[in-house]
Amino acid sequence: MNKRNLRNNQVLVNKLNQKLYRYEDGIGTEVLTDDQKEAGVTPDVVEINGDNIVCFSVSEDPNYDDYTMDEDGVLYANGTPVATGAIKVVKILVSGKRKALLAVQPLDEEAKGFDVFTYNAAIDSFKKMAGNVVLGNEITSGDAVIFPYENIREEEREIRKEDGTIEKQPYKVLEKAGFVEFNKETCYGAVYPIDSPLGELVKVADGYNGSIATLVFASKYNIIGNSDEDYDDEYDEYDEDSEEENDNTVNGELEELDGKLVCRVISVLESGQLRTGYAAFRLGNKIESATRAGRDLTLITDKAAYLGDFVLTDKVALKLITGYPFLVKNTYDAKKGERTISMATKDYKVKSILMKETTDRGIIVEEI
């Protein structure tokens, strides 16, 4: 530990006797237990200076580190300029309790995006998390701060026409996509690469089952050769080293979807970490609402409703559930060929519909 990192009200552990000391203006006062206080134990007091600071380490620190930049691009930690060397900090993305998340100019002059680093003032250390990523808008959920990234490059190829002439045709390629995540309190950081186009955040639904939010992204692109069957609704958890660079390269050619969106669903857990997954359904080109009720994610668009594992496209049924965004019941009786759907509002108004399969008239929808 370095003396310049000492701050008042820190609790330090003495490496020699394992006792805890609260630091205040150069003095460490032993932190007594309730039993010791009742017994009238006198706390040990020790002067803490540059000579003996190596014998202590921080156990608790209620203080926040203060990371700032001036107009000349100089990075400061707690008012002290940081020696950045070859690292050119462009922006402080997040100033956390112990670390800062930084956007750094890549050494590659042709790079389109940023390198992402963390800086820890306590140990004066930079660590690279991701290289050359085009960051999207910041998303805050609880203590978690999330930056989607999506690198798409445009290329041209020569196409021979029927008359024998050659013309250049533009096309797009997805290089990499995913999320950089950072927790302001714990300063846990991770990179979650994905292998599909991400698009834009369109809705945030309430969380469920240990999550605090569900983020719904929608992209107008799909990778050529991918079909809806290539994805599922299960989540893949990533257990990445929190600060190791992970350069995820896809190199997938993109096709533009005609009037439809492919949706992706990301859950933010109460721990602050992400659970990434795909919900690869195509539901029109405008998402009206995204909600959670029970275990099911409900997405309603201008053309259809995604109700858990059931896609509702019947126009009569969609009209009946307008204004009722929460799915609270979705049952199917295979013998009768009947599906019962109950939707609700935030103030507990419920509307239920029955959908009957008939051999002569198709599906009949009625409110019940």
pLDDT in tens, 34-60: 999 999 999 999 999 988 999 998 888
Q: Give the span between the Cα atoms of 332 and 352, in whole angstroms.
A: 13
DSSP 45-79: EEE--TTTGGGEEEEE--PPP-EEE-TT--EEETT
User: Is the predicted pLDDT of residue 247 greater than 60, yes or no?
Assistant: no
Check if the beta carbon of residue 21 is closer than 8 Å to that of residue 10: no
DSSP 94-152: EE-SSEEEEEE--SSTT-SSEEEEEEETTTTEEEEEEEEE-B---EEETTEEEEEEEEE
Range of lowest pLDDT (82-96, 253-267, 322-336):
253-267
Give the per-residue pLDDT at 229.
40
| 356's tokens | 């009957």
Give the per-residue pLDDT at 241.
40
Burial 254-293 (b: 16+ CB within 10 A, else e): bbeeeebbbbbbbbbbebbbbbbbbbbbbbbeebbbbbbb
Range of lowest pLDDT (15-19, 106-110, 268-272):
268-272
Q: Give the span between the Cα atoms of 137 and 118, in whole angstroms.
A: 18
**Listed residue (202, 220, 320) closest to 266, CA to CA:** 202
Q: Give the span between the Cα atoms of 172 and 152, in whole angstroms.
A: 7
Mean pLDDT throughout 222-243?
A: 46
**Listed residue (270, 265, 286) closest to 220, CA to CA:** 286
User: Is the predicted pLDDT of residue 204 greater than 60, yes or no?
Assistant: yes
Most confident of 42-46, 235-239, 329-333: 42-46
Give the per-residue pLDDT at 295.
67
User: Is the predicted pLDDT of residue 208 greater than 50, yes or no?
Assistant: yes
Give the per-residue pLDDT at 22.
95
Phi first, then psi, for residue 309 (nearest 5°) are -100, 15
- Which residue type is seen at 93? L
User: Is the predicted pLDDT of residue 234 greater than 50, yes or no?
Assistant: no
User: Is the predicted pLDDT of residue 5 greater than 60, yes or no?
Assistant: yes
pLDDT in tens, 268-326: 887 777 887 655 566 666 788 888 776 677 888 888 888 877 888 888 999 999 999 98
Give the per-residue pLDDT at 251.
64
Phi first, then psi, for residue 36 (nearest 5°) are -65, -40
Q: Pick the residue with more confidence: 263 or 144?
A: 144
Mean pLDDT throughout 201-228?
A: 78
Phi first, then psi, for residue 286 (nearest 5°) are -150, 120
Burial of 197 (0-12, 13-18, 19+ CB in 10 A): buried
User: Is the predicted pLDDT of residue 1 greater than 90, yes or no?
Assistant: no
Mean pLDDT throughout 13-22?
A: 93
Give the per-residue pLDDT at 222.
86
Q: Pick the residue with more confidence: 149 or 212?
A: 149
- DSSP H or E segment with residue 259: none
Q: Pick the residue with more confidence: 285 or 161?
A: 161
Mean pLDDT throughout 343-363?
A: 90
CA angle 14, 17, 18 (to 5 degrees): 60
User: Is the predicted pLDDT of residue 207 greater than 80, yes or no?
Assistant: no
Share of the chain above pLDDT 90, in %: 46
- DSSP H or E segment with residue 191: strand 189-194
- DSSP H or E segment with residue 27: strand 27-30
Mean pLDDT throughout 145-151?
A: 94
